[in-house]
Amino acid sequence: MGSVGLTIEELASGECAPCEGVKPFTVDEAREALKPLSGWIIRDGSIEKEFRFKSYLAGLEFACAVGKIAEVENHHPDLFIGWRRVKVVLSTRAIKGLSQNDFVMAAKSELEYYRSSGSQRS
């Protein structure tokens, strides 16, 4: 399943799948896949976004929620927790690049942020 033309909700409804035999996304494919994901950037074969919070505890709760989603999906981001911010970095280690799984997890992380922070989507 490609992510071109999908809404964030449609992308988040996907499930992460094993990547044996899958080729990493090209930079152009990754840029296209990022279109429904506002604020995410491509950096060194990964995608990342820093989420902002009103308190340190809110950031910790978000990181924990993303961790629980990652366990269900068996696709684990790197999470960097700072004062009132959490950076989520995704890549598919098995293929040393980006796969559909990264964009599914990014969408799920994004929706969790909206849910947990009470933020409105733009």
Cβ atoms of 80 and 89 within 8 Å: the answer is yes
Per the rule left: phi > 0, alpha: psi between -120 and 50, beta: everything else, 50 is beta
Quickly tell me which residue has 């490609």 as its tokens: 2
* pLDDT value of position 118: 73
88 in a domain, yes or no?
yes
122 in a domain, yes or no?
no
77 in a domain, yes or no?
yes
CATH number, position 55: 3.30.1360.20
* pLDDT value of position 122: 47
Residue by residue, pLDDT tens for the chain (122 residues) are 455 568 999 999 999 999 888 999 999 999 999 999 999 999 999 999 999 999 999 999 999 999 999 999 999 999 999 999 999 999 999 999 999 999 999 999 999 999 988 765 54
For the chain, how many residues are written? 122
Cβ atoms of 62 and 53 within 8 Å: the answer is yes
96/86 Cα distance (integer angstroms): 23
* pLDDT value of position 112: 97
Quote the number of domains for the chain: 1
87/28 Cα distance (integer angstroms): 23
Joined tokens for residue 36: 């429904």
3 in a domain, yes or no?
no
Q: How many other C-beta atoms lie within 10 A of the C-beta of residue 73?
A: 17
Domain hosting 51: range is 29-117
64 in a domain, yes or no?
yes
34 in a domain, yes or no?
yes
* pLDDT value of position 19: 87
24 in a domain, yes or no?
no
pLDDT tens digit sequence for 6-28: 899 999 999 999 988 899 999 99
Strands 46-52 and 41-43, bridge-based pairing: antiparallel
84 in a domain, yes or no?
yes
Strands 78-82 and 85-90, bridge-based pairing: antiparallel
